[in-house]
Chain A
Amino acid sequence: MSSSLLRTTPLLRAGLRARAAKPLAAMATTSFTRGKATLPDLPYDYGALEPYISGQIMELHHSKHHQTYVNGFNAAVEALAEAEAKGDSKAAASQAPLLNFHGGGHVNHSLFWENLAPNGKGGGGEPEGKLLTAINQDFGSFENLKKQTNAALAGIQGSGWAWIVKDKASGNLTLVTRANQDPVTGNFEPLLGIDAWEHAYYLQYQNRKAEYFSAIWDVINWGTVAKRFGQ
């Protein structure tokens, strides 16, 4: 697969920002105003994370899987708005699982892409500064953080994610897992997410998921994590 054909525009990373779906005049005729979620461009080429994550995986994961969550989320938001407009509470409530699943899928993947970077070009290496101090304090060491995260990832029963999060109340770092596409919400600020769905690694690692969990540390963008941590 030629990675030059798969070039993405690094400047357009606005997927989580709302984009007006219709001209203003058209929107004025509806009882609600909103934008549609869009697929954010990757901040690197599809092949840029090789050999740790293959270009084929990245292309499918981003352009097919993430796109499906974006579409599903927009459809659920629309169905919810229609139900609300009709005063149909039952139909509105029935959208909740779809909003959580597709909205979570969109949020999680948007955070994930920015958590990754090509090895040696922002990816891999070790966390620094205040982030490293916090890691040492809350996990004992960086090695220990990786070990605990890999154990948590291996222990996920089914599809899901592992996250290094910041507890908003205490400021402490902690490790959590989420089933399927459940997003990290509430008192936790997500800093680093690792996708443990089979589609994230299967074409390259098949059932050997421990090898994927071990390899992904070589493409973790600690700059993003530090920024989210508030460094």
Chain B
Amino acid sequence: MSIGTFSLPALPYDYDALEPSISEEIMKLHHGKHHQAYVTNLNNALKTYSTAITDNDVPSQIALQAAIKFNGGGHINHSLFWKNLSPSSSADANPTSAPTLTAEIDKTWGSLDGFKEAMGKALLGLQGSGWGWLVKDGNTLRIVTTKDQDPVVGGEVPILGIDMWEHAYYLQYYNGKAAYVENIWKVINWATAEERFKGDREDAFKILKAAL
């Protein structure tokens, strides 16, 4: 069985482009080291898994699933995350770039501020490492949280992901994660969110195939 090798997708902006919301140092480590480690470990796990399939070694295949889920999830989540961030100076960072999505958000949470409040509560309520996501489930918008690097792969379309691992904010915000959550709204890429909202799951995950 032949398998593809994933590679680290390039950031669609410079490391310092999200300042002052997210510092250059954080972005460099987060993309260049953390995301890279998920990619490297995913490739290693898939390679071993491929051998286990060739060898009909089912116990090894099962044992590898945790590593595939964790590192594959880390790769998926970060790939989605970079794309749903944008320098605040860009028009993409303005919610008016997502007219269809924000209309649906208004219907669900009353207003954009109502959504941000609900999302903030979910993000700050995470116990340990994890992510908060705005997802489209059928025709319904929902906020979900996932632990560690569990990806949103249950049939929902991920529209907007926010990384709540400490490595995503600690060098700049320390234990003040509420300030990180407040500031990340300034660098959300609403154009990407609109595109994902209008598309389906395949569209949202196409970036992964591109990283093969």
**Chain B nearest CB, measured from A206 CB (Å):** 6
Taken together as a complex, chains A and B put the C-alpha atoms of A198 and B174 apart, in Å, by: 11
- The residues of B that contact A74 with a CB separation of less than 8 Å are none
Q: Are A203 and B34 in contact (CB under 8 A)?
A: no
Partner of B170, one of A68, A97, A158, A199: A199
**Chain A nearest CB, measured from B189 CB (Å):** 25
Provided the pairs A157-B70, A158-B128 are in contact, do residues A207 and B166 lie with their beta carbons within 8 angstroms? no
Q: Are A198 and B165 in contact (CB under 8 A)?
A: yes
Q: Are A157 and B148 in contact (CB under 8 A)?
A: yes
Question: 1/0 contact trace for A57-71 toward B, CB 8 Å?
Answer: 000100011001000
A136 at the interface (CB under 8 A from B): no
Q: Are A158 and B127 in contact (CB under 8 A)?
A: no
Partner of B127, one of A97, A157, A206: A97
Taken together as a complex, chains A and B put the C-alpha atoms of A160 and B130 apart, in Å, by: 12
Q: Are B174 and A64 in contact (CB under 8 A)?
A: yes
Q: Are B130 and A158 in contact (CB under 8 A)?
A: yes
Q: Are B128 and A202 in contact (CB under 8 A)?
A: no
Q: Which among B66, B171, B174 has the highest number of chain A CB atoms within 10 Å?
A: B174
Number of interface residues of A (CB under 8 A): 20
Provided the pairs A68-B175, A158-B147, A198-B170 are in contact, do residues A180 and B34 lie with their beta carbons within 8 angstroms? no
Partner of A180, one of B33, B127, B175: B127
B129 at the interface (CB under 8 A from A): yes
**Chain B nearest CB, measured from A69 CB (Å):** 11
Question: 1/0 contact trace for B143-174 toward A, CB 8 Å?
Answer: 00001110000000000000001110011001
A181 at the interface (CB under 8 A from B): yes
Taken together as a complex, chains A and B put the C-alpha atoms of A103 and B4 apart, in Å, by: 45
- The residues of B that contact A85 with a CB separation of less than 8 Å are none
- The residues of B that contact A101 with a CB separation of less than 8 Å are 127
Among residues of B, the one whose C-beta sits closest to the C-beta of A104 is: B127
- The residues of B that contact A97 with a CB separation of less than 8 Å are 127
Number of interface residues of B (CB under 8 A): 20
- The residues of A that contact B165 with a CB separation of less than 8 Å are 158, 198
Among residues of A, the one whose C-beta sits closest to the C-beta of B130 is: A158
B37 at the interface (CB under 8 A from A): yes
Provided the pairs A158-B147, A158-B149, A207-B37 are in contact, do residues A199 and B129 lie with their beta carbons within 8 angstroms? no
A9 at the interface (CB under 8 A from B): no
Provided the pairs A198-B165, A207-B29, A207-B167 are in contact, do residues A158 and B129 lie with their beta carbons within 8 angstroms? yes
Among residues of A, the one whose C-beta sits closest to the C-beta of B166 is: A198
**Chain A nearest CB, measured from B175 CB (Å):** 4
- The residues of B that contact A188 with a CB separation of less than 8 Å are none
**Chain A nearest CB, measured from B115 CB (Å):** 23
Q: Are B33 and A181 in contact (CB under 8 A)?
A: no
- The residues of B that contact A199 with a CB separation of less than 8 Å are 166, 170, 175
Q: Are B128 and A157 in contact (CB under 8 A)?
A: no
- The residues of B that contact A198 with a CB separation of less than 8 Å are 129, 165-167, 170
Among residues of A, the one whose C-beta sits closest to the C-beta of B74 is: A157
Q: Are B167 and A203 in contact (CB under 8 A)?
A: no
Other A-B contacts than A97-B127, A160-B128, A207-B29, 6 sampled, CB-CB below 8 A, are A101-B127, A157-B66, A157-B70, A158-B149, A159-B166, A198-B165
- A interface residues (Cβ-Cβ under 8 A, vs B): 60, 64-65, 68, 97, 101, 157-160, 179-181, 197-199, 202-203, 206-207
